[in-house]
Amino acid sequence: MTEQPTSPSTTVEIGVETFGDVTADADGTMLSHGQVLRDVVAEGQLADRVGLDFFGIGEHHRVDYAVSAPEVVMGALASTTQRIKLGSAVTVLSSDDPVRVFERFSTVQALSNGRAEIIAGRGSFIESFPLFGFDLQDYELLFEERLDLLVELLRNQPVTWTGQTRAGLTDQQVFPTAEQPIPLWVGVGGTPQSVVRAAQHGLGLMLAIIGGEPMRFAPLANLYRRALDQLGRPQLPVAAHLHGFVADTDDEAADLLFPHYEAQMRKMGSERGWGGYSRTAFGAALAPEGNLLVGSPETVAQKMAAIVKGLGLARIDVKYSNGTLPHEGIMRSIELMGTRVKPRVHELLAGQ
């Protein structure tokens, strides 16, 4: 018998995310990291104005992404937005210090009047490990211990904690104190162990769907819900992150995005030993069962509603920045996501 997901709310949250991908201008000239950062702030401000629910900012330490300190960008947005939630996508917790993570996010939480969120994960790349002096042989232990300590800091101050990968704490208070609880999610790429770990800590689950069919993640979402039940915990939200781009028509969205997405995938493939990326593969990802949320507002809304319903999501986030895709196209995509896609998704879910 097929297990059915928890029914999503018809008011599912819809967010957007960026890694601060270094973009090109209309003439193909690459922009500076500084200009990209200023553009990210403008994108977050627009996401707030058009009614989106979450703006996520990734952390990377490499030349093709401008954001290495997401909380600083979040701080800029905290005082120039009104209602949108601001979070990481993700905080690379394995190579960070949980005390500093708490201090930075509690600062953003104060500046934003309670709108900060942490999505903790191990990241898509490993460049932060040598940069900050960590050994990749400690990959699993670093994340497990740092997640354990961060949970303690968020829930149980003052904290007494011991571990192998950093100095222990004894009755330690960390400042500034948070006026409201800071939500913590665990970003997972598809391993059952990561899903169960999130349930054991009583944390929200963020599914990183960057390839394949989204419905293949249904067993992981259901495993998470079963684990919560077996642990005697209340059901907690499941969210998902996918790549996407919205334009006025399906053809316009695909044609605008493909050269930038193909170049990005080819670069990642050369680093990781993948094959090339073809227009045929791109087309398969655009299909109703594919992983890319790309097309007109109606196409994206229909696909998004199906994913929300199939996985029982409380929130779905779209990484709208894809390689060198210019800022102007990005802004139009965000506008359509808030003004057209979000209300249509709610309408579709209400009618089911």
Asked whether the predicted pLDDT for residue 5 surpasses 90, the reply is no
Bridge partners for 168 per DSSP: none
Q: Number of structural domains, the chain?
A: 1
Q: What is the pLDDT of residues 12-39, one digit of tens each?
A: 999 999 999 999 998 889 999 999 999 9
What CATH number is associated with residue 18?
3.20.20.30
Q: Is the distance from CB of 229 to CB of 311 less than 8 angstroms? A: no
What pLDDT sits at residue 103?
A: 98
**Domain membership flag for residue 101:** yes
Task: Indicate whether 1 belongs to any domain.
Answer: no
Query: Mean pLDDT in the chain?
Result: 95
State pLDDT tens for residues 43-54. 999 999 999 999
pLDDT band at 205 (very low <50, low <70, confident <90, very high): very high
Instruction: Give per-residue pLDDT as tens, 156-170.
Output: 999 999 999 999 999
6 has a pLDDT exceeding 80: no
Is 218 inside a domain boundary? Answer: yes
**Residue 304 domain flag:** yes
CA atoms within 13 Å, Cβ hemisphere of 147: 25
pLDDT band at residue 9 using 50, 70 and 90 as cut-offs: low
Q: Quick check: is 195 in a domain?
A: yes
pLDDT at 4: 45
Specify the pLDDT at position 2: 35
**156 in a structural domain:** yes
Its domain, for residue 184, covers 13-350
The backbone torsions φ and ψ at residue 304, rounded to the nearest 5 degrees and listed phi first, read: -65, -45
What are the CA-CA distances from residue 111 to residues 45, 67, 337 (Å)? Answer: 15, 20, 26
pTM summary value: 0.95
Structural domain includes residue 327: yes
